[in-house]
Amino acid sequence: MDFYQALALEAGGPVLELAVGTGRVAIPIAQAGVPVVGLDHSVEMLAIAWEKVVSLGLDIELHQADMRQFELGRQFGLVYCPGRAFLHLLEPEDHMACLRAVHRHLEPGGRFAVNFFVPSIPLIASHLSAMPPWEAKKEFRDPETGHRFVVSYALFYEPFRQRVTVHHRYDELDEKGRVVHTEYKTYTLCWIWPREFEHLLARCGFEVEALYGDFDRAPFGPHSQEQVWVTRKP
């Protein structure tokens, strides 16, 4: 949060957030005094974001659009895509379409910032079975019913397509620890190697200002788990 807020304060605003969702990142930036324009494909998430914007009286403008093909008719000093949302674009054509749309919406010298995980070869290799194991992730308690929820996940990797499908299972337990309800959610992400993204950026007219290994702006290195990119439109 601090990383993107600092970039927004440097840009001065308004700034454009791709995959704004429910406003988790946009709201603190707007509260810091930077006007935000937010874009997302999900009408449901935008509705939640709009309720927050109205209740807080913030300067946030929201648009429903696909980040591969949007046209707002103006340019920004900063466009950013936080939370690894860029990885929901699964094909190189999608990546380039998004990057070119961002390029059109940047002022000369404007920045594009984005982050995503560093692919782990050992992790990929350990999840290549046809039936990946369920792994407990976290627990929380429903404040209304008092029931406990256990969230588990299973990862299914497809190396030849550079995709990982994430299966989430939500088990609702009663006061005796019995499972009374289970829900499943699934989504798919791609993964992008650092040199691969350098080539994508170059093909779409960007210059790399910095590649960090975390949000504290540590240099990217062999033990980095995150790719944090700051790029610029010449």
pTM of the model: 0.91
Domains and CATH numbers, the chain: 2-118+192-232 (3.40.50.150), 121-189 (2.20.25)
Distance of CA 130 to the CA centre of its chain: 27
Tokens of 219: 């240099």
Residue 21's CB is within 10 A of a number of other CB atoms, namely 19
pLDDT band at 176 (very low <50, low <70, confident <90, very high): confident
Q: What percent of the chain is modeled with pLDDT above 70?
A: 100
Give residue 126's pLDDT. Answer: 85
Residues 12 and 7: their CA atoms lie apart, in Å, by: 9
Cα angle 37-204-19, degrees, rounded to a multiple of 5: 30
Exposure b/e, 201-228, CB count within 10 A at least 16 = b? beebebeeeebbbeeeeeebeeebeebb
HSE at residue 41, side-chain half, CA atoms within 13 A, is: 9
Distance set, CA 1 to CA 6, 24, 80, 172 (Å):
9, 9, 12, 31
pLDDT of residue 89 exceeding 90, the answer is yes
pLDDT of residue 201: 98
What stretches of 118-161 adopt beta strand conformation (E)?
135-141, 148-158
Rama region for 205: left / alpha / beta (φ>0; ψ in -120 to 50; rest): left
Amino acid 112: pLDDT: 98
Q: How far is CA 53 from the centre of its chain?
A: 20
pLDDT digits 0-9 by tens, 155-175: 999 999 999 999 999 999 988
Q: Answer whether residue 191 shows pLDDT above 90.
A: yes
Tens-place pLDDT, residues 123-139: 898 888 777 778 888 89
What number is the average pLDDT over the span 135-146? 87
